[in-house]
Amino acid sequence: QQQVKQSPQSLIVQKGGISIINCAYENTAFDYFPWYQQFPGKGPALLIAIRPDVSEKKEGRFTISFNKSAKQFSLHIMDSQPGDSATYFCAASEKAGANNLFFGTGTRLTVIP
């Protein structure tokens, strides 16, 4: 059973547009929600992360929005660029047993010039 549900599976966005990827979870013990970016042939790399005590975190063009009551969080990429084309994974972990990151199934983002 997938602990973190991610959508959409793939996304095509024009250069300069906004890319939005959504994730949902059920486990209320989750207290850390990172997003990882993966380019073809490479390992995932941490992009941005949020804890549930804040509703939004912004780093450059990347923003995580977090809705604790709905148990949902999303990644927004503003002014999307062709270099942002990659697969994005959301993940979650709980404080107890935090060695286990539960990943979503991934979203392949393509930004068209």
Asked if 98 interacts with another protein (CB under 8 A), we say yes
Residue 88: CB atoms within 10 A of its CB come to 24
Q: How far apart are CA 103 and CA 33, in angstroms?
A: 10
Supply the minimum distance, in Å, between the C-beta of residue 103 and another protein: 4
Q: How far apart are CA 92 and CA 99, in angstroms?
A: 11
Q: Closest by alpha carbon to 91, among 59, 62, 50? A: 50
Q: Between residues 17 and 52, which has the closer beta carbon with respect to another protein?
A: 52
Supply the minimum distance, in Å, between the C-beta of residue 105 and another protein: 5
Residues that bind another protein (CB under 8 A): 2, 4, 6, 9, 32, 34, 41-46, 49, 89, 93, 95, 98-101, 103-106
